């Protein structure tokens, strides 16, 4: 199955970094206008990736890093028996593909959970520019450090926590990431299916459904299809093993 990386750039019809509402999240704040233009010049923006379409595939040559502009992606690996293991979900402003940085290939696949647009940053040009712009290099290292920390937390989640704690951790993680983007930390849409959530958390789909139902009965959440309203942040934080935060959603579970 061939991946469908973002097609050739459509400059002039797509927003540039300086006008993108997400630039403060995925780019170093210290870049001046000239440096921002240099980064903008190497970025490719293509047509939207449709739900279920691959951005890149495990084993393909590592050639680019991607920033999600709209929509959401899931990343996953395939076992030798073809079984899928979801490693993460990526929302707008988040970088995807950095796991291939120390390899010549992508160690996982990325697939759109809904119609998604990305900014493609070719590796060779990114490396050259990062050598000249220390703040850009720092941002990349910071992002990779965040990914490593998230992977470590996921290992802890799967080995030490029960079903309710895993689901609470997952909800608070998504909450924090939406809050970081300036959206509501308590009312948001989950772009992934419960099957995907169960795969990611190492639980049966039926268990996920039971936990959501229990949370709803206990007044912790309200669900409306894929819409989630967090009604008791303090209890969810406690279940997730986080310190409660008055501004709800700014505790980091990553």
Tell whether the model's pLDDT for residue 50 goes beyond 70: yes
Question: Is 118:10 a contact under the CB 8 Å cutoff?
Answer: no
Together in a domain, 234 and 190: yes
Together in a domain, 138 and 165: no
Rg (CA), the chain: 19
With respect to residue 9, please indicate whether it lies within any of the assigned structural domains. no
Per-residue pLDDT of 198-253, as tens digits, reads 999 999 999 999 999 999 999 999 999 899 999 999 999 999 986 544 444 444 43
- Give the best-scoring range by mean pLDDT among 31-40, 169-178, 180-189, 206-215: 206-215
Structural domain of 181: 161-240
Q: Which residue did the predictor score with more confidence, 140 or 222?
A: 222
pLDDT for residue 180: 85
Per-residue pLDDT of 152-178, as tens digits, reads 777 776 778 999 999 999 999 999 989
Q: What is the mean pLDDT of residues 41-55?
A: 88
Q: Which of 109, 130, 154 is the last residue of a domain?
A: 154
Q: Which residue did the predictor score with more confidence, 152 or 53?
A: 53
Question: How far is residue 174's CA from residue 119's CA, in Å, rounded to a whole number?
Answer: 22
With respect to residue 75, please indicate whether it lies within any of the assigned structural domains. yes
Question: Is 189:224 a contact under the CB 8 Å cutoff?
Answer: no
Q: Which phi-psi region, left, alpha or beta, contains residue 81 (left: φ > 0; alpha: ψ -120 to 50)? A: alpha
pLDDT for residue 80: 81
Helix, strand, coil distribution of the chain in percent, nearest 5: 40, 20, 40
Q: Which of 139, 154, 169 is the last residue of a domain?
A: 154
Question: Is 185:175 a contact under the CB 8 Å cutoff?
Answer: yes
Band the pLDDT of 185: cuts 50, 70, 90: very high
Instruction: Say how many domains are in the chain.
Output: 2
Tell whether the model's pLDDT for residue 44 goes beyond 80: yes
Question: How far is residue 199's CA from residue 45's CA, in Å, rounded to a whole number?
Answer: 31
Mean pLDDT, the chain, integer: 81
Together in a domain, 187 and 116: no
Question: How far is residue 242's CA from residue 237's CA, in Å, rounded to a whole number?
Answer: 5
pLDDT for residue 27: 55
With respect to residue 136, please indicate whether it lies within any of the assigned structural domains. yes
Tell whether the model's pLDDT for residue 187 goes beyond 70: yes
Per-residue pLDDT of 105-129, as tens digits, reads 999 999 999 999 998 988 888 888 8
Q: Which residue did the predictor score with more confidence, 173 or 19?
A: 173
pLDDT for residue 74: 97
Tell whether the model's pLDDT for residue 16 goes beyond 70: no
Question: How far is residue 126's CA from residue 132's CA, in Å, rounded to a whole number?
Answer: 10
């Amino acid at each position: 199955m061939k991946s469908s990386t973002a097609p050739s750039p459509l400059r002039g019809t797509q927003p540039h970094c300086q006008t993108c509402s997400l630039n403060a999240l995925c780019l170093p704040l210290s870049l001046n206008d000239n440096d921002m233009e240099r980064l903008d010049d190497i970025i490719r923006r293509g047509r939207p990736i449709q739900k279920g379409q691959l951005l890149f595939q495990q084993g393909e040559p590592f050639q680019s890093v991607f920033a999600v502009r709209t929509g959401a992606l899931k990343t996953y690996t395939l076992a030798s028996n073809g079984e899928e293991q979801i490693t993460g979900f990526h929302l707008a402003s988040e970088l995807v593909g950095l796991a291939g940085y120390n390899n010549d290939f992508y160690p996982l696949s990325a697939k759109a959970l809904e119609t998604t647009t990305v900014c493609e940053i070719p590796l060779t040009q990114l490396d050259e520019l990062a050598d000249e712009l220390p703040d850009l290099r720092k941002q990349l290292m910071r992002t990779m450090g965040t990914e490593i920390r998230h992977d470590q937390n996921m290992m802890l989640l799967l080995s030490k926590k029960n079903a309710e704690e895993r689901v609470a951790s997952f909800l608070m993680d998504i909450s924090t990431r939406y809050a970081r983007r300036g959206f509501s930390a308590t009312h948001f849409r989950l772009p992934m299916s419960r099957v995907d959530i169960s795969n990611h958390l190492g639980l049966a789909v039926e268990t996920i459904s039971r936990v959501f139902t229990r949370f709803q009965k206990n007044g912790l959440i309200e669900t409306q299809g894929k819409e989630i309203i967090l009604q008791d942040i303090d209890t969810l934080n406690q279940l997730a093993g986080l310190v409660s935060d008055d501004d709800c959603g700014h505790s980091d579970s990553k």
